[in-house]
Amino acid sequence: MTGGGDISFFFKPESVAVVGASPEPGKISNIILGNLAGAGFGKRLVPVNPGQASVMGLECLPSLEESPEVIDIAVFAIPAGLVPGALKRAEGKVRGAVIVSGGFGEAGERGKLLEKEVLDTARKAGVRVIGPNCLGIYDAVSKVDTFFIPVDRAGRPGRGGLSILSQSGSFAAVAMDELAAEGIGVARIVSYGNAVDVNESDCLEFLASDPETSAVVIYMESVADGRRFVEAASRCSSEKPVMAVKVGKFGAGAAAARSHTGAIAGRYEIYRAAFRKAGVTELDGYEEFQAACKAFGLQGRAGGKRVMIITDGGGMGVGIADACHALGLEAAPLPDELEKELRAVFPPYFSISNPLDLTGSATDESFAMSVQKTMSGGHYDIAIVAALWGPPALTDSLPGMLAQKPGFSEKPIIVCTPGGEYSRSRLRLFREAGLPVFTTPEGAVRAAAVLAGGRRRR
Amino acid sequence: MTGGGDISFFFKPESVAVVGASPEPGKISNIILGNLAGAGFGKRLVPVNPGQASVMGLECLPSLEESPEVIDIAVFAIPAGLVPGALKRAEGKVRGAVIVSGGFGEAGERGKLLEKEVLDTARKAGVRVIGPNCLGIYDAVSKVDTFFIPVDRAGRPGRGGLSILSQSGSFAAVAMDELAAEGIGVARIVSYGNAVDVNESDCLEFLASDPETSAVVIYMESVADGRRFVEAASRCSSEKPVMAVKVGKFGAGAAAARSHTGAIAGRYEIYRAAFRKAGVTELDGYEEFQAACKAFGLQGRAGGKRVMIITDGGGMGVGIADACHALGLEAAPLPDELEKELRAVFPPYFSISNPLDLTGSATDESFAMSVQKTMSGGHYDIAIVAALWGPPALTDSLPGMLAQKPGFSEKPIIVCTPGGEYSRSRLRLFREAGLPVFTTPEGAVRAAAVLAGGRRRR
């Protein structure tokens, strides 16, 4: 289907143009120009508008044809019907186009024809295209931000190792906004929409060798070229964790995916087989997508599926053990020597088993000691700490003490801290300590399962 | 096993005594007395302490034996070994005991013997017992609050129609705290712990005819008398929705449940059969428990499983449709006449189907009109509205407009509004409008499934 070839200039541009850059606040082109300027894109930023001398204090180019040099990225936020003409004028002047406009393949037969014309024109003009019907790129490394949602409605994450590919623009925007609120950084987020040219496979090829990206999460409704996807995903997954959520699996969802990006969603089983073959961890939906982002945004892969559960609320411990069982993780019993060691240091009313229940008498120290003693040996791969804030001895030092990981720095710790106002106000402390924190047992277990290579499907 | 008989005095007491009421802040008996006074329990509140003339300005009784009248509830927060003696002295003076102390059946052989002694003594003394190893009662109707977690660590919900029964104290406390933060009211919450006497069946019998209770949610690890449970639950479920989450289902979870409340968790399949027989909707874990509380705390039962999905983010709509399929709900296609009606009022770039995608051009009015037009006929039973806050035309009036339900007041609406800071700050508006609101597609669909009578198990 689509071609492949280098697209790295999209992620290290020396220049970005905004075609049709309007001086009018609220216009999409105006928001994009403002976000690019506000995000601190330090290279050449060029509004293109024949009717203005300057926009936002930046000198305007009357037309892309007038550009004295080749521009790396031109963002097109103009009506669909004007896109082919504008692309033609970009020949020799633009390496890559981000077409955020809608009204193409997702909009009936006429849109499909227009989309075909866009591809043909872009090929002739030698311009690579991201989109149309997309948000484009949010890149915390290069500071490129073509997402046309104002910053006050959708936060922008700081810099981190996570990269996200999304066919759905709204999904990409919501995920970005949530990561910003959770304090989890990203490298590149690409909303590629109808994928007329650049698609998930092109992006995976780039991300495979991108040193800024340590893990990749994909949201997809469809894949245009399955064989190429398997090749690109395999290459990427041999370098770093690659996870994917495929939506539009069944019935109404599949039909909706089709009308949403104009793509054929295809049979779900085929996707699952492709993921397995490519070493891609399948995520079940939005909540597993969230869990994957939080987990890999803050912790590394787990060495196995053996989970140690530590809590001060017996009932929560039981619920976590159930959820572990449901996702194929093993809450294995405490080995005898470890049980003896814990009995020697803890009062008799602690429930010394897995789950380990420190009861309402829990202290910061008893939590930290439990994590240290159970995780420093070879018995467990992941700790899930369910800290309820009822016990009066618990203090705000707990998150920092848990995060120290003496003697087992490579093993992930996942925190579950459900509850109301008091508990919610403590979530920040765990985030600041670098621990992925969830408000339900199931959320924490999803994250643990993702770090352990994915849930076991039944 | 245990006896049955009237326990309604626990829920409309004329007097509550706190045995061993300490003047020392931080002591459990002191916290309970403070919470009872602070919750506005307006009837007789009696600290019992031979060493004090008064505690918190309330005159002390030196001993329960000295009470001039029969006390409805005596709360025992004293060391386990002292409980049998104190119960003996309560004979003829106390109708019901709430024993919050731990160290009984959950604490090995010695504890089991002590628990037996408690039961025998209570029977002889004619005292009904809630507990031991529990938090007791939080009752928003009678203003009884024996939960010994300070109010600043765990919020107390206002008055509503939901009643919760929980074998686990920590679970009850966390649920209570969360409901308070979500602004959802309750009638009665009972944490019954080791259930030496009063158990889930006694409570269900009371709740069946309790006019303050409109729905019941149970968290259980075990049931002592299956036949009696099925009878009591059947009676209650014929009056109002009854839902239950059974934890300790498998392996480590089952073992943990056993050590947690000293009970035999039993085979999971037996519980499922009992729930089916008793008309109890089974909930899968904490997240479905949350969904049930939010959904039934704010909306009524759905008439069926047909879901209409309305969104301004195509990707979220697809995810919701997938989640509906997974839980056995039907996102049925739009009937022709309804599709025509919607096409007549909406612009051509809206995606007129189920899910209905209002795109980034969504307005408050287009959301409200979509809900009104799709729900006022006989085609759908529940609306799930996934409102992403990216579209600039959306305002804070949206929640109130959705909540109006012109022409279909009996059908539930569930809201999904994922995202970061901006979206999270809008959650409150939906709550204030009386709409259950979730931050993930799966959360909203869980709530819809519960309102429709439970997920379909595969």
Answer yes or no: is A276 within a domain.
yes
Q: Is the peptide bond before A68 cis (omega within 30 degrees of 0)?
A: no
Residue ranges with strand state E in B242-401: 242-246, 281-283, 307-311, 356-357, 382-386
DSSP 8-state assignment for residue A139: E
Q: Kindly report which listed range (B24-38, B261-275, B351-365) carries the lowest average pLDDT score.
A: B261-275
Judged against a pLDDT cut of 80, whether residue B255 lies above it is answered with: no
Q: Note whether A311 and A327 are same-domain residues.
A: yes
B456 within a domain of the structure (yes/no): no
C-alpha to C-alpha distance for A4 and A197, rounded to whole angstroms = 9
**CB < 8 Å to A155, chain B:** 420-422
CB pairs under 8 A between A and B: 278
pTM: 0.93
Same domain, A155 and A201: yes
Residue A199 banded pLDDT, cuts 50, 70, 90: very high
pLDDT band at A455 (very low <50, low <70, confident <90, very high): confident
Instruction: Give the domain-ending residue among A271, A297, A323.
Output: A297
Q: Provide the pLDDT confidence category of residue B262 given band limits of 50, 70 and 90.
A: low
CA A77, CA A74: separation in Å to the nearest integer? 10
Amino acid at A367: F
Range of the domain at A370: 300-451
Minimum-distance CB partner of A441 among B285, B389, B441: B285
State the pLDDT confidence band at A457, using cuts at 50, 70 and 90: low
First-to-last C-alpha distance (Å) of chain B: 34
- Report the alpha-carbon angle B318-B320-B326, nearest 5: 110
Q: Determine whether B169 is exposed, middle or buried from the number of CB atoms within 10 Å of its CB (0-12, 13-18, 19+).
A: buried
Residue with the bigger pLDDT between A254 and A37: it is: A37
Chain A residue closest in CA terms to B360: A170
The answer to whether the CB atoms of B252 and A333 lie below 8 A apart is yes
**pLDDT surpasses 90 at A96:** yes
Q: Are residues B150 and B249 in the same domain?
A: yes
* pLDDT of A418: 96
User: Is A231 or A455 the better-scoring residue by pLDDT?
Assistant: A231
Q: How far is A330 from chain B (nearest CA, A)?
A: 8
> How far is B393 from chain A, CA to nearest CA, in Å?
10
- Stated as kind and residue range, the H or E segment containing A271 is helix A268-278
The verdict on a CB contact (< 8 Å) between A349 and B248 is: no
Interface probe with B: pick from A30, A286, A320, A395, most Cβ of B within 10 Å: A286
Are residue A307 and residue A283 in the same domain, yes or no? no
Query: Does the N-terminal peptide bond of residue B157 adopt cis geometry, omega within 30 degrees of 0?
Result: no
Query: Which of A238, A271, A297 is where one domain is finished?
Result: A297
Are both A144 and A267 inside the same structural domain?
A: yes
Both ends of chain A: CA-CA distance in Å?
34
pLDDT, position A409: 86
Q: CB of A308 within 8 A of CB of B252?
A: no
- A154 lies in a domain? yes
Q: Are residues B134 and B237 in the same domain?
A: yes
Confidence (pLDDT) at A2: 47
Whether A258 has a pLDDT exceeding 70, the answer reads no
Residues 6+ apart with CB under 8 A from B27: none
Cβ contacts of B316 on chain A, cutoff 8 Å:
168, 170-171, 174, 286
Query: Is A391 within a domain?
Result: yes
Query: Looking at CA atoms only, how far is residue A67 from chain B in angstroms?
Result: 32
Q: Which of B167, B182, B207, B14 is nearest to B95 (CA)?
A: B14
Q: What pLDDT sits at residue B91?
A: 96
The better pLDDT of the pair B254, B108 is held by B108
At A248 the pLDDT is 85
Q: What is the mean pLDDT of residues A183-210?
A: 97
**Are residues B61 and B158 both part of a single domain?**
yes
pLDDT value at residue A259: 62
Find chain A residues with C-beta within 8 A of B166's C-beta. Answer: 315
Mean pLDDT of chain B: 93
Q: In terms of domains, do A264 and A405 share one? A: no
- Give me the mean pLDDT over the A291-304 stretch: 94
In the beta sheet, which residues pair with residue A191?
Answer: A136, A166
Q: Please state the domain count of chain B.
A: 2
CA A331, CA A355: separation in Å to the nearest integer?
A: 8
Residue of A nearest to B290 (CA): A440
- DSSP-assigned states of every residue in A159-227: EEEEEEEES-HHHHHHHHHHHHHHT--EEEEEE-TT-SSS-HHHHHHHHHT-TT-SEEEEEES--S-HH
- Nearest Cβ partner for A323 among B152, B167, B285: B285
* A2, part of any domain: no
Q: In this predicted model, what pLDDT tens digit does every residue of B294-348 receive, in sequence order?
A: 999 999 999 999 999 999 999 999 999 999 999 999 999 999 999 999 999 999 8
The answer, yes or no, to whether residue A192 has pLDDT greater than 60, is: yes
Final residue belonging to a domain, choices A265, A297, A329: A297
Q: Are residues A195 and A293 in the same domain?
A: yes
Q: How confident is the model at residue B412 (pLDDT cuts 50, 70, 90)?
A: very high
The pLDDT of residue A266 is above 90? no
Average pLDDT on B165-186 reads 95
Which residue's entry shows tokens 């198990």? Answer: B457
Query: Contacts of residue A351 in chain B, CB cutoff 8 Å?
Result: 106, 256, 259-260
Question: In this structure, is residue A458 part of a structural domain?
Answer: no
**Closest residue in B to A104 (Cα–Cα):** B349
In this predicted structure, which of A17-21, A68-72, A181-185, B246-250 has the lowest mean pLDDT? Answer: B246-250
Rounded Cα distance between B382 and B308, Å, is 6
Distance CA B353, CA B331 (A): 10
Task: For residue A180, tell me if it sits in a domain.
Answer: yes
Rounded distance between C-alpha atoms, residue B29 and residue B26, angstroms: 8
Q: Is the pLDDT of residue B407 over 90?
A: no
Residue B259 clears pLDDT 50, i.e. is over it: yes
- The average pLDDT across A410-419 equals 96
CA distance B70 to chain A (A): 32
A391 touches A379 (CB < 8 A): no
**Residue of A114, A138, A151, A170 to mutate for B, most B C-beta atoms under 10 A:** A170
B285 contacts A315? CB cut-off 8 A = no
Is B260 a residue whose pLDDT tops 70?
Answer: no
Instruction: Give the tokens for residue B400.
Output: 């109130």
User: What confidence tens digit (pLDDT) does each residue in B43-62 have?
Assistant: 999 999 999 999 999 999 99
User: For A240-259, what is the mean pLDDT?
Assistant: 80
- Are A263 and A329 found together in one domain? no
Assess whether pLDDT exceeds 70 at residue B263.
Answer: no
* Number of residues in chain A: 458
At A263, the pLDDT band (50, 70, 90 cuts) reads low
Q: Kindly tell me if the per-residue pLDDT of B458 is higher than 50.
A: no
Which residues, in sequence order, are CB contacts of A18 under 8 Å at separation 6+?
A29, A32, A33, A36, A45, A46, A47, A48, A74, A75, A77
- Residue A269: per-residue pLDDT: 85
Phi, psi of B183 (to 5 degrees): 70, 25
* One domain, residues A305 and A191: no
Q: List CB contacts (< 8 A) between A331 and chain B.
A: 251-253
Residues A428 and A446 in one domain: yes
- In 3D space, the residue among A285, A442, A221 whose CA is nearest the CA of residue B324 turns out to be A285
Please report the ipTM that was assigned to this predicted complex: 0.93
Region A268-277 average pLDDT: 91
Mean per-residue pLDDT over chain A, rounded: 93
* φ, ψ dihedrals at B255, nearest 5°: -65, -40
Round to whole Å and give the CA distance between A306 and A379.
Answer: 8
pLDDT, one tens digit per residue, over A340-397 is 999 999 998 899 999 999 998 999 999 999 999 999 989 999 999 999 999 989 999 9
Question: Is the previous residue joined to B13 through a cis bond, with omega within 30 degrees of 0?
Answer: no
- Give CA–CA dist B316/B441, Å, rounded: 7
Report which secondary-structure segment, H or E, holds B164. Answer: strand B159-166
- CB contact set of A91 (below 8 Å; sequence gap of 6+): A124, A125, A126, A127
CATH number, domain containing residue A200: 3.40.50.261
Q: Does residue A458 carry a pLDDT above 80?
A: no
Would you give the distance in Å from CA A457 to the centre of its chain? 22
- Between CA A420 and CA B309 the distance in angstroms is 29
Phi and psi at residue B424, to the nearest 5°? -65, -35
In a domain, A3, yes or no: no
pLDDT at residue B421, rounded to an integer? 96
Q: Which pLDDT does position B248 carry in this prediction?
A: 85
Residues of A in contact with B81 (CB under 8 A): none
